[in-house]
Structure 1
Amino acid sequence: MHHVLTSTSESSLFAVTAAPYLVLDTELRIAAANPAYLRATGRAAGELAGELMFDAFPDNPADPRRDRRSEPDRVFHPRAAPRHGP
């Protein structure tokens, strides 16, 4: 794991914050999850570490917005901003 990810996931603040956080690597693999995240999702750290984010949390077929795999593409490969109006 990259030293920045290691220092983030091993920090006291990451461990004690009430906000749920995941640390992802550049391949979108879960490097770490803080205790708040594990409580919120009902998962164990051993279940998540090393898993691809979308494999660990697959789409819900009942959710009409379920194509979540395209969202990172919009972040990592932005296209021209949409034009509004004439």
Structure 2
Amino acid sequence: MSVYDPLRAKLDSVRGQTVRFTFSEIEALLGRPLPASAHKFSAWWGNESSRKAGHTQARAWLLAGFEARVSLKQRAVEFHRP
């Protein structure tokens, strides 16, 4: 079980091609704050799920069929189906 399973479940329920969440909305889904690196580095939102790279968060949206595009300035993420 992953900390990011609630995000994956929410994305699994999305019927459209794109959905946008603020960092606060994602934190509410997770029931915990995002790590500081999610707020500081766009690479944290990269679309690679390699266990070696430690991107377990990316597995949540990739397994749901989405890729992420982050705006650190807006503190929001747009998930889109490729």
Same fold (TM over 0.5): no
Normalised by the length of structure 1, the TM-score is: 0.24
User: Which of 1 and 2 has greater Rg?
Assistant: 1
Structure with the larger strand share:
2
Normalised by the length of structure 2, the TM-score is: 0.25
Q: Which structure exhibits the higher relative contact order, with contacts defined as CA atoms closer than 8 Å and separated by 6 or more residues?
A: 2
